[in-house]
Amino acid sequence: MSDELICVGAIAGSFGVQGEVRLKSFCTEAADIAAYGPVFTKDGRSFTLKLTRPVAGGLGGRLSGVTNKEDADALKGTELFVPRAKLPKLPDDEFYHSDLIGLTVRDTGGETLGEVISVHNHGAGDILEIRLNGPKSALLLPFTLATVPTVDLAGGLIIVDLPEGLD
């Protein structure tokens, strides 16, 4: 598990004409994206990342080997990963999104509802996307202590207290 890669950000596009990229950081402290050593892509490429400045909607940065706007544009949408071992250990009540994906979801009565297939964050907090067993296809729930009172990573399980009207 220590060599597992965790997504820490994505390239949102180019910035300027000299190969700078605009980064969206998924780290608690946005600038930490550059603190974990080289970043990797899904296809196995590796880049050294140096932050240059804050930019609208993220951070400006330089990636090793990216020297012009065309190279930077070609990387738009590329997710950036680092080995889990490079990331800080989290407190017991915090989780990396990748730890939650694939967990079985049960309600407080013990009925299996489905499986977490994604975690979204559009700025107002994390949202769990759950693939439901049965006729409905998916459910979105806020990842809050009130809605998700129990996360058991070792057991592969999340217990949810469905909001009124969803049960």
CATH H-level, domain 97-160: superfamily: PRC-barrel domain (2.30.30.240)
Share of the chain above pLDDT 90, in %: 72
pLDDT for the residue numbered 163: 84
Asked if the model's pLDDT at residue 8 lies above 80, the reply is yes
> What residue spans define the domains of the chain?
5-86, 97-160
pLDDT for the residue numbered 1: 35
Single-letter amino acid, residue 98: S
Three-state SS across 24-73?
EECCCCHHHHHCCCCEECCCCCEECEEEEEEECCEEEEEECCCCCHHHHH
Asked if 13 contacts 24 with a C-beta cutoff of 8 angstroms, the reply is: no
Question: 156, 22, 142, 24: which is closest to 166 by C-alpha?
Answer: 142
Q: What are the CA-CA distances from residue 23 to residues 12, 39, 132, 143 (Å)?
A: 5, 12, 33, 25
Class of domain 5-86: mainly beta
Asked if the model's pLDDT at residue 149 lies above 90, the reply is yes
- In angstroms, the CA 159 to CA 133 distance is 15
Taking only the tens place, the pLDDT of each residue in 45-90 is 999 999 999 988 899 999 999 999 999 999 999 999 999 999 988 8
The dihedral built from the CA positions of residue 58, 62, 67 and 72, taken in this order, carries a sign that is: negative
DSSP structure class, residue 87: S
Length of the chain: 167
Single-letter amino acid, residue 82: V
Single-letter amino acid, residue 86: K
- In angstroms, the CA 138 to CA 17 distance is 42
Strand bridging mode 49-55 / 58-63: antiparallel
The structure's pTM equals 0.78
